[in-house]
């Protein structure tokens, strides 16, 4: 049997770090500058000055809305929060089946069911307006699905959405059954805005790979949710709080950090694959947390200061700073969100960014189909007799 020549090797960095795979008009992350934006507007400035609906409109329609557009968009998306009857009826069974896994795992099933129930068709077969309608319907329904699954898992009845509340306030209302105070609703809204999109992270790239096949909108979002569920991606906010719990008291900070860093453990809430400077999201969320004040915030600030100092000492040149998860966990805890809802809350925001990426990818009919470099034994080896 003739020997088959290997293809010429192509050197690709681990994890595709820095590899440009497409062009986008949606945003950019500049890790060396500590800056990121949505369609040329600073994402942090948007979080500080705009509503979630404004940013959602920006991502989907490519521009910030005027007053008339804002009211129309808010009303239209609020109407989409209500679930189809057959999806709502299936949620108790989904919650029971996923009781050990939590609402994020259930969301994958529920979102797939929503797409099927709503008649989502392959992106390949739809015009841009129809794709956009599916994206809005899915994004509006995700907070309703998440909160319903959580409450069912707690033995509580789901709370129907209210059309008169903003996106973040309605989310907290559906979670707790009580209208939230303005400060907490605004804090959660700012967090949601700050996490809508963030470059070609693992979940966003996954959504675009699936979109490139022409699959339906729900399939793209379910795949992205699967990527987000990993603890190295969306699962870190609660783990960062677990770190604070494990340290416990101020006098234990340095000893705990040194022990775990020297053991090679990852300190959740620190370091980022893109930022070599402070994560701008963490800076904003730290400010929000300080606005609430209290022992948890004071302790978190102290841990941040000591962790950066100890990391600089033990891992010189690595530029390991806090990332979005550290103070995101603190802010969500202060706003009354249970820890098992931290990553689902992240998903409630990021679904807007995924959808915008899916819509952009759907404009390109080229399927994403990279290659792998084979490094096993040289082919072709004769198949041995049975």
Residue range 190-241, pLDDT digits in tens: 999 999 999 899 999 999 999 999 999 999 999 999 999 887 776 656 777 8
pLDDT exceeds 60 at position 2:
no
* Calpha distance 79→86 (Å, rounded): 17
Nearest to 175 by CA among 141, 157, 151, 142: 151
SS3 of residue 36 by DSSP: strand
pTM (2 decimals)?
0.90
pLDDT confidence of residue 235? 63
From the number of C-beta atoms within 10 Å of its C-beta (0-12, 13-18, 19+), residue 365 rates as exposed
SS3 of residue 276 by DSSP: coil
SS3 of residue 137 by DSSP: helix
> Across all residues in the chain, what is the average pLDDT?
90
Place of tokens 């700050």: 194
| Cβ-contact 153, 102 below 8 angstroms | yes
Highest-pLDDT range among 30-39, 59-68, 374-383: 59-68
pLDDT tens by residue, 252-300: 999 999 998 888 887 777 766 666 677 888 889 999 999 999 999 999 9
Catalytic-residue membership of 61: no
Instruction: Report the range of poorest mean pLDDT among 61-70, 230-239, 333-342, 374-383.
Output: 230-239
Catalytic-residue membership of 360: no
Interval 330-359 mean pLDDT: 94
| Marked catalytic residue, from 53, 189, 304, 325 | 325
| Cβ-contact 157, 151 below 8 angstroms | yes
Q: Say which residue, 378 or 231, is predicted with more confidence.
A: 378
Lookup: tokens for 213: 């096949």
* Calpha distance 301→295 (Å, rounded): 10
Q: Rg for the chain (alpha carbons), in Å?
A: 22
| Marked catalytic residue, from 272, 304, 321, 333 | 272
Interval 20-47 mean pLDDT: 90
pLDDT tens by residue, 108-161: 999 999 999 999 999 999 999 999 999 999 999 999 999 999 999 999 999 999
């Amino acid at each position: 049997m003739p020997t088959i020549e290997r293809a010429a090797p192509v050197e690709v960095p681990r994890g595709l770090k820095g590899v440009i795979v497409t062009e986008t008009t949606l945003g950019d992350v500049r890790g060396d500058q500590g800056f990121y934006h949505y369609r040329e507007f600073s994402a942090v400035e948007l979080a500080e000055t705009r509503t979630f609906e404004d940013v959602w409109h920006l991502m989907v329609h490519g521009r910030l809305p005027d007053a008339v557009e804002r009211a129309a968009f808010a009303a239209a998306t609020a109407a989409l929060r209500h679930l189809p009857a057959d999806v709502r009826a299936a949620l108790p069974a989904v919650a029971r089946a996923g009781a050990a896994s939590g609402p994020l795992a259930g969301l994958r099933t529920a979102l797939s069911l929503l797409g099927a129930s709503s008649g989502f068709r392959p992106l390949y077969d739809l015009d841009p307006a129809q794709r956009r309608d599916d994206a809005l319907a899915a994004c509006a329904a995700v907070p309703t699905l998440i909160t319903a699954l959580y409450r069912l898992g707690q033995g509580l009845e789901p709370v129907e959405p209210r059309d008169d509340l903003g996106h973040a306030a309605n989310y907290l209302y559906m979670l707790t059954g009580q209208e939230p105070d303005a400060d907490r609703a605004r804090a959660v809204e700012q967090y949601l805005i700050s996490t809508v999109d963030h470059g070609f992270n693992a979940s966003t790239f996954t959504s675009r790979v699936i979109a490139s096949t022409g699959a339906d909108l729900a399939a793209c979002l379910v795949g992205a949710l699967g990527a987000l569920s990993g603890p190295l991606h969306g699962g870190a906010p609660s783990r960062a709080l677990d770190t604070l719990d494990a340290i416990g008291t101020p006098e234990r900070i340095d000893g705990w950090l040194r022990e775990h860093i020297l053991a090679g453990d990852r300190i959740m809430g620190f370091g980022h694959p893109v930022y070599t400077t402070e994560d701008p999201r963490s800076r904003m969320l730290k400010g929000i947390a300080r606005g609430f004040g209290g022992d948890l915030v004071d302790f978190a600030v102290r841990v941040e200061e000591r962790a950066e100092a100890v990391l600089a000492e033990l891992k010189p040149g690595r530029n390991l700073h806090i990332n979005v998860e550290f103070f995101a966990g603190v802010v969500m805890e202060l706003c009354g969100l249970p820890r098992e809802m931290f990553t689902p809350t992240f998903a409630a925001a990021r679904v807007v960014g995924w959808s915008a990426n899916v819509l952009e990818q759907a404009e390109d009919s080229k399927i994403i189909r990279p290659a792998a470099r084979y490094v096993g034994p040289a082919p072709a080896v004769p198949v041995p007799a049975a």
